[in-house]
Amino acid sequence: MATRLRAALLVLLATCAIPSLAADVAGVTLAPSVQVSGTTLMLNGAGLRKRLFFKVYVAGLYVARTSAQALELISEPGPKRVAIHMLRDVGADTFTGALREGIEKNHSAAETAALEPRVEALAAVMKDVGETKDGMNISLDWIPGSGTVIVVDGTARGKPIAGEDFYQALLRIWIGEHPAQDDLKKALLGEKG
């Protein structure tokens, strides 16, 4: 009995001791974990966003509790991060236009209209940032009690955008029913290959 208990304990300890691995996508390494609002978030998955044959950015999804279920990740309470590493220069209007299109594809007209003032707030922040440059890091952080915080190369930009529904709408761009790119959705959900 003691031997079985000892063996079970060793298996449990070995399982807990396995660190999350960093992800390498298109030459970009994403950390296995990040800190957002004092909470350690784990990399759920990472993938490459392409437009036609152009590599646009690498995205990583960080959450407190990893899951392969999109709806769980979208509705899970607590801080979250979508980390974006740009692989080409993209104008602010093009960047926010793509976000707006992703929101429209995953929401009714009424839902989209309700989100529009906050989409405009995000567009204003990105317009202030200007063109997103190759190598730039953009994080869209959900911080409960504050809102969606846009962080560009380590510096928070603009004011937090209120409403968890807005952050959930952003997540649906990548992992919603009608994602921007199917293989990127699978990658963010941690699916291999």
Pairing of strands 33-36, 28-30: unpaired
Whose structure tokens read 């220069």? 89
- Residue-level pLDDT at 77: 93
Q: What are φ and ψ of residue 120, in 5° steps?
A: -65, -35
For residues 150 and 139, is the Cβ–Cβ distance under 8 A? yes
Taken in order of first residue, the domains within the chain and their CATH numbers are 20-188 (3.50.70.10)
- Token pair, residue 154, equals 């380590």
Q: Average pLDDT for consecutive 10-residue bins of the chain (193 residues)? A: 46 39 90 96 97 94 97 96 97 92 96 97 94 96 97 96 97 97 96 73
The radius of gyration of the chain from alpha carbons, rounded to an integer in Å, stands at: 18
- Residue-level pLDDT at 11: 39
How far is CA 147 from each of CA 3, 98, 144, 172, rounded to the nearest angstrom? Answer: 51, 21, 6, 17
- Residue-level pLDDT at 91: 93
- How many CB atoms sit inside 10 A of residue 66's CB? 18
